[in-house]
Structure 1
Amino acid sequence: MTRISLGESITMTARNKPDAPSFLFPDGGQHTFAQTNARVNRLVSALRAQGIGRGDRLAVFSLDSHRYVEIVLAALKLGAVYVPLNYRLRRGEIDTLVARAAPVAFCYDVRYTDLLAGLPDAHPSIKLFLAMNGDEPEYEALLATGTEAEPPVVASDEHVIGLAFTSGTTGLPKAVLQSQRMMKAIVTEQVVEYRMRPDDVRYAAAPTFHITGICQLLMCVAYGTPSLILPQFDPRTTLDFLAADRLTAVFLVPTMISTVLALPDVHDHTYDRLRLMYYGASAMSPNLLRRAMDTFRCDFLNAFGAGTEAGLQAVLTPEDHRAALDGRPELLGSIGKPAFGVALRIVDEDLNEVPTGEVGEIATRSDMVMDGYLEMPEETERALRGGWFRAGDLGYLGENGYLYLAGRKKDMIVRGGENIFPIEIESVLAEHPAVAQAAVVGVADEHWSEVVRAWVTLRDGATATAEELAGHCAQRLAKFKVPAEFRFVDALPTNASGKILKRELRTWN
């Protein structure tokens, strides 16, 4: 049976809406869908002339740009495998991942030229080492050698088209095998759950190297709506586009929302065109969420998932958010109900379903689940045992049928035999008016085995003491959950997706 390939999405949209904008740029420029498709076809032709085709791997190490998306679309048309790399990596980490992926092409941002010096010599698999930007971009020179003829369809749903490394840093890096079936399902899922409309203009602040970022760009390409592309998230530029009524929907992680809300003129605008702000990647405190809802006065949606490995898993819809404001505030602590086409269970170590209200591991089945990990059969079997994907996220189902997150399995703190879930303490700390962000970790203790340490950043101009925050927690939490230690810092460590890096916090004193 002949199926539509994901690479054809730009082809079909370019035919249906040739003059409609595909990408908007912060300097006021734009590309149309016809321009984008022509550039992608030229790249496909040029790469084929270099001997690159189906199954070959193309690594990208760059900030976000239209060229990044063109490389991914070209890989999809080639049936090649794109390998997105986190641009925050150090050289040793890059070498490790490149050795694992063995790409034939490596496309990079010239700002990282010194960091990447000698990379092709160290990795013989690299045949094409391509600068994407600069004064005379090699990328554009390569594009000029190609033709705009539409290439034949070569990718099938069972083919692996993406090889993405998980954010974990312990042990051998896990490379996730992402099939076309998986990526198509994620794009379709987002069109449904993220409430796409023909008049949309969207911005997703997730970096393109992350599956959340690239799939939202592919979603807009497939649906035929423009996307704003910024090299990196910038709160000032984001607010300017929102205030100018140039965006209808934005995806931001909670730390980004908090940063935008901290801008001095955020309350000076009405945001008439903004209809949806959706968030994910980490939990958002009810206090921050209420501030955002009061400021932007649009619909909100919480998207929860294990994107790199399993796509979207649960959604707290705009209707749920409105219900919370109408007398059901407990819903703001939830991550919603299973997403469209997702089977979800809360299970124990033996995959037995646990009773309502009991904490267990979140397990899902859907077409958005990965094919496994590259050359790691034991890790694959553990994650996909019994046909159910498990990422180590803990949660429980309330009597109301909504899913509540209890943190990561590896983040759970065991103090004197009592299990403590950091997210519960973090939510309480976030309710304090002086607290901007909080992250809780366990630290070794001779008597208790582990005790709770809270890392806290304060809002601009605010003050708070450890004693004050401990008293705030003691009024709302059992005594054993109250942090034994507080550490005040100017900023918490985050990755490019905005997630707080607890593994780093565990190394801080």
Structure 2
Amino acid sequence: MSTQRTSRAADWVRLHARNTPGRACFVTDTDSYSFAQVNSRVNRVANELRRMGVGKGDRVALFATDSHCYMETLLACMKLGAVYVPLNFRLARPELQMLLRTAEAKVLFFSERYAAMVESIDVPTLRWTVSYEKTAVADRGYDELVAAGDDVEIDTPFGDDEIMCLAFTSGTTALPKGVMHHQRMTKHLVFQCILERRLPADSFHYSPAPLYHVAGMGYVLAGVARGFPSLILPAFDPVTVLKWLRRDVLNGVFLVPTMIDMLLQQPDVRDASYDRLLSIAYGAAPMSPTLLRRAMKTFRCDFMNMFGAGTEAGLQTVLTPEDHRRALAGNEHLLGSIGKPGMGVDLRLCDDDLNEVPDGTVGEIVTRSDAVMAGYLGMPDETDRVLVDGWFRGGDMAWRDDEGYLYLSGRKKDMIIRGGENIYPIEIEQVLSELPAVQEVSVVGVPDERWGEIVRAHLVVNPGGAFDEDAVREYCRTRLAGYKIPAVFRVEETLPRNASGKVLKRTLRTR
């Protein structure tokens, strides 16, 4: 008796290489790679990795800026059944080493610009390093893998409950949280993206979300699954992106509010018609209604707000183009909404005991869907805290109006979202508290028109001590990723506290 083979995400590129071989899959600023070319390159990398001893379940880490080679590496891991571990390329050296050790990475792919950092790390499980460019530090070069590998399909059986990705939520806490994505989650995220983002087969889409982020991976994988090309640039640059928009070839983009603001500041942004641009999706950070109105007036296309807990629970709500048009027609309050639950999302607003709260009352967003993670690597207690009978509790707080629209009220935790990047204050507090001059420290996020939020640190200095901001910033650069370094430092006489001695961060935010 034969068992039915589960469809694999790894099959997407193979199928389009067979059905539409000449269609573009990945487009860069200088080249275009068809589905047939990409599938061939993926096969070659996968077969060479297999010769290097990489098999099903092995961890393959990526510490690199965005490129078509990065995505080919992910697809090669899918074909092998290996677990890909995308890492934030702005990590400091201690963060990188900690995450590689936690992941027990066997292979590390990296960009040449990080060669010195890679050379200095100590990871016992690491057997191979592969550079996307030429460097003496790496054991192998990526081009070498492509040239040496065989263009032969690898058909690794892979079930929907098996882990295919390990994505980290943070990098400097003693126990970083590695989010385990099973294949079911990845497939649901991609299909949900295609549907809710309204991406037809003739799309040409661009997302500047970095490929180490679930939004970056998800949008490009949606193109691979649907059979349309994705523009891949090394990093977001408003001049370059506006150039592509003015070419009138892109018909869909995803941007965080900070990037939209950067585009609107370009002097020639209003000199084009953008006739082919059908829609702009935004998300990952709060966006002011003022900025949204400016964007809608400039680009004159559909807008949609995509909100969710991407790394752990995927897309949760959508404010559709129809909702935006209603807002422009007089229902402007909708511009402050995150919309309604997305496809396949069971969403509740709950109190601390997971009892649903009535409309108009603030509660925690709790969701259940196929896009919910399998759990945190090696952290059963933390997993049990956020996953209750399949329901995910991410700590986002919201209320629902009588039409079913949801409005954010803040976050249960004090997480800061700066330009789409999640920042946990305790990480920064731990680093700053190690300074001899610092007696107490509390870090908060405060609103910012450009970044959504910025990091502000409030410090109490030891008696007789001196605070040298330049020196502290330099110290932070050795311990933290750049985006986590506070934008503002404030020296306080005391920190406000409640009766139990807890620092009142709400009071600090309003100072």
Query: TM-score by structure 2 length?
Result: 0.81
Residue correspondence of structure 1 range 24-63 to structure 2 within 5 A? 24-27=27-30, 29-63=31-65
Superimposed CA distance per residue, residues 226-259 of structure 1 (whole angstroms, 9 cap, x where no aligned partner): 0111000111110000011020000000000000
Match of 1:112? 114
Partner SS for 1:250: strand
- CA–CA distance in 2 between the matches of 1:177 and 1:279? 25
What is the letter of the counterpart of residue 242 of structure 1? L
Q: Contact (CA 8 Å) 1:77, 1:155: kept in 2 or not?
A: no
Question: 2:116 aligns to what SS in structure 1?
Answer: coil
**Contact 2:108–2:129 (CA under 8 A) maintained in structure 1:** yes
Deviation string, structure 1 residues 196-242 (Cα, Å, up to 9, x no partner): 11221100110000011011101001101001110001111100000
- Computed over aligned residues only, the root mean square deviation of the Cα atoms, in angstroms, reads 2.6
- Which secondary structure state, in structure 1, belongs to the residue aligned with residue 293 of structure 2? helix
Going from structure 1 to structure 2, the CA distance change for 1:453 and 1:167 (only over 3 Å counts) comes to closer
The amino acid that maps onto 2:104 is A
Classify the secondary structure of the residue corresponding to 1:378: helix
Amino acid in the other structure paired with 2:238: P
* 1:282 equivalent among 280, 285, 300: 285
2:87 counterpart letter in structure 1: L
Q: 2:123: which partner in 1? A: 123
Q: SS of 2:395's equivalent?
A: strand
Q: Secondary structure at the match of 1:411?
A: coil
| 2: CA distance, partners of 1:451 / 1:42 | 48
Residue 124 of structure 1, CA deviation: 2.1
Q: Is contact 1:78–1:155 with CA below 8 Å preserved after alignment?
A: no
Aligned AA (1:326) = A
Change (3 A) 1:507 1:398: farther
Q: Is the 8 A contact 1:212 1:307 kept in 2?
A: yes
- The 5 A counterparts of 1:318-467 are 318-411=321-414, 454=446, 456=448
SS of aligned partner of 1:312? strand
CA distance in 2, matches of 1:127, 1:74: 18
For the residues of structure 1 that align with 2:298 and 2:144, how far apart are their CA atoms? 46
Out of 260, 271, 275, the residue aligned to residue 274 of structure 2 is: 271
1:132, CA displacement in angstroms? 1.1
Q: Distance in 1 between matches of 2:180 and 2:77?
A: 15
Range 141-150 or range 343-352, more displaced: 141-150
Cα deviation for residue 504 of structure 1 reads 3.7
Q: CA deviation at 1:167?
A: 3.3
1:68-147 paired onto structure 2 within 5 Å: 68-119=70-121, 122-134=122-134, 138-147=141-150
Q: What's the counterpart of residue 480 of structure 1?
A: none
Q: CA deviation at 1:458?
A: 8.4
1:326 to partner: Cα distance: 1.1
1:187-198 equivalence runs, <5 A: 187-198=190-201
Distance in structure 1 (CA, Å) of the matches to 2:485 and 2:349: 25
Letter of the structure 2 residue corresponding to residue 128 of structure 1: W
Residue 143 of structure 1, CA deviation: 1.9
* Aligned residue runs from structure 1 range 149-164, under 5 A: 149-164=152-167
Contact 2:220 2:230 in 1 (8 A): yes
2:101–2:124 contact (8 Å) kept in structure 1 = no
The reply to whether residue 212 of structure 1 matches residue 209 of structure 2 is no
In structure 2, relative to structure 1, the CA distance for the partners of 1:457 and 1:180 (3 Å cut) is closer
Counterpart residue identity of residue 133, structure 2: N
Which ranges of structure 2 fall in alignment gaps of 5 or more residues? Answer: 426-441, 452-481, 492-511
Identical aligned pairs, as a percentage?
Answer: 49
**SS at structure 1 position matched to 2:117:** coil
Kindly indicate whether the alpha-carbon contact (under 8 Å) linking 1:77 and 1:154 is maintained by their aligned counterparts in 2. Answer: no
C-alpha displacement at 1:13, in angstroms? 1.0
> 1:313 is matched with which residue: 302, 316, 336?
316
Q: Distance in 1 between matches of 2:153 and 2:172?
A: 41
Partner of residue 246, structure 1:
249
Task: Measure the CA separation in 1 of the matches of 2:34 and 2:57.
Answer: 29
**How do residues 8-23 of structure 1 correspond to structure 2 at under 5 angstroms?**
8-23=11-26
Q: How far is the alpha carbon of 1:23 from its aligned partner?
A: 1.0
Q: Does the C-alpha gap of structure 1 residues 107 and 135 become closer, same or farther in structure 2, counting only changes over 3 Å?
A: closer
Instruction: Measure, in 2, the Cα distance between the counterparts of 1:405 and 1:240.
Output: 34
In 2: Cα distance, 1:192 partner to 1:61 partner? 30
Kept in 1, the 8 Å contact 2:111–2:131? The answer is: yes
Where do 5+ consecutive residues of structure 1 fail to align? Answer: 413-421, 427-438, 442-449, 460-499
Aligned to 1:490: none
| CA deviation after TM superposition for structure 1 residue 457, in Å | 6.4
Residues of 2 paired with 1:451 and 1:47: CA distance?
Answer: 43
